Amino acid sequence: MRRKYERQYTEAPKLSGLVKAGIITPGAGYDDTSRRQQTHEEETANPSIPEPIAPDSGRNFRKIPVALIDENVYGPRVVYTHDMILNRAEELRTQGQHDPIHLIPNPDTPGRYIIADGWTRVQACIQHGVLDELLAEIHPHLNPEQAGWFGYQQNEGRNQHTDYDRAMFFLKMIDNGETATEIARKANLSKTAMSFFMAFRDLPEDLLLIVREHPVKFGSTAAYYLSKLYKHAGAKKAVAIALRFSEGEHPIRWLVNQVQSITTPLTSKQATTKKTIRYANGYFKERVDGFELVISVPEDKREAFSTALEALLDTVAMPIKTGLAPATPDHDADQD
């Protein structure tokens, strides 16, 4: 069985991304040496702690009972569907465990651990009774927040996050005191992308229920436009559009167009303009119901222009019949 994990024992821990993003700093934060010494003292005082595997690898591998593993309040994922956990349970049952999970010691409960990466596998074992223990690498130098970022980067590498997961993780970190700018830097996101993720927090619960049922379909772009629709037209309208989007095969462009047609409807003039010609001294517009001309004419050409224009108008203009009230200024403007 140990030969199966020989590759994992010799590979370097996947912490370089945390250092690069400034999430952990060598020599700062949790002191690695003192924490390892504390861990050694805990192990000596508590013989029930599992023995290390491959101690010469320079890494801390152990078989940990799943009953001793706690969820991280800063975990990077929110959506764990029944099918997702069931599928992982079947994989563990038929294929065994390929890679170690990652844990940190629980700072509040000696002898227990907090998950950094691998919570789906832990839940699969607990809910479906697949394995009583899992191979784990212990990271005593990470605190719970850093462990959350570790899991986030691991999931990003496996494409296992939805945008809703990402947004909820970011909001946890904001509640813990980090700024949106700091999170964007650590997650390698632009400010614009970050603003789209933050739109999830503006959605009412009725919309979030739909999002959680279809987390892959409702990405950050969908959240951003649904947030605009909710603020403009209310929850009922936003829920109706979201349901249509979730139940059909509509692309995201369909949702964007639906929202824009409600929040920024075209004016009647915009909707009926067929052609526009712009000049240095004015413009000419052809509409479905008429024409519009605005142009500046030099003084020495005005008389000739006026004569030619009146002659042209005589070919289509309808004179006002005697006894009828003259047209209002607004009506005149519509007849241009």
DSSP type of residue 317: -
| Residues 218, 276 share a domain | no
| Residues 60, 24 share a domain | yes
What is the pTM for the complete model shown?
Answer: 0.62
Q: What is the largest CA-CA distance in the chain?
A: 112
Looking at 161, 195, 229, the residue that finishes a domain is 161
| Residues 223, 199 share a domain | yes
Please return the burial class of 134, using the count of CB atoms within 10 Å of its CB with bins 0-12, 13-18 and 19+. Answer: buried
List Cβ neighbours of 180 (8 Å cut-off, separation of 6 or more): 170, 174, 194, 198
| Residues 68, 7 share a domain | yes
| Residues 226, 182 share a domain | yes
Q: What sign for the dihedral angle of Cα 217, 247, 239, 266? A: positive
pLDDT (0 to 100) of residue 253: 94
| Residues 308, 173 share a domain | no
| Residues 282, 247 share a domain | no
pLDDT in tens, the chain (336 residues): 444 444 444 444 455 566 565 666 554 444 444 444 545 455 544 545 556 565 555 688 999 999 999 999 999 988 888 988 999 999 999 999 999 999 999 999 999 999 999 999 999 999 999 999 999 999 999 999 999 999 999 988 876 789 999 999 999 999 999 999 999 999 999 999 999 999 999 999 999 999 999 999 999 999 999 999 999 999 999 999 999 999 988 999 999 999 999 998 755 555 567 789 998 988 888 877 788 889 998 989 988 988 888 888 888 777 665 444 444 444 443 433
| Residues 23, 79 share a domain | yes
Q: What sign for the dihedral angle of Cα 199, 204, 205, 207? A: negative
d(C-alpha 2, C-alpha 71), whole Å: 27
DSSP type of residue 318: -
Report residue 29 as tokens.
Answer: 């934060």
For residues 235 and 206, the answer to whether their CB atoms sit within 8 Å is yes
Looking at 210, 234, 265, the residue that finishes a domain is 265
| Residues 292, 257 share a domain | no
User: 57: domain CATH number?
Assistant: 3.90.1530.10
Residue 106: how many CB atoms within 10 A of its CB? 16
For residues 121 and 90, the answer to whether their CB atoms sit within 8 Å is no
Q: How many domains does the structure of the chain reveal?
A: 3
pLDDT (0 to 100) of residue 58: 64
H-run or E-run covering 117: strand 113-117
Phi-psi region of 273 (alpha: psi -120 to 50; beta: other; left: phi over 0): beta
| Residues 261, 251 share a domain | yes
User: 173: domain CATH number?
Assistant: 1.10.10
Report residue 202 as tokens.
Answer: 């503006």
Domain interval for residue 260: 163-265
| Residues 280, 319 share a domain | yes
| Residues 211, 86 share a domain | no
d(C-alpha 121, C-alpha 102), whole Å: 11
Looking at 245, 265, 285, the residue that finishes a domain is 265
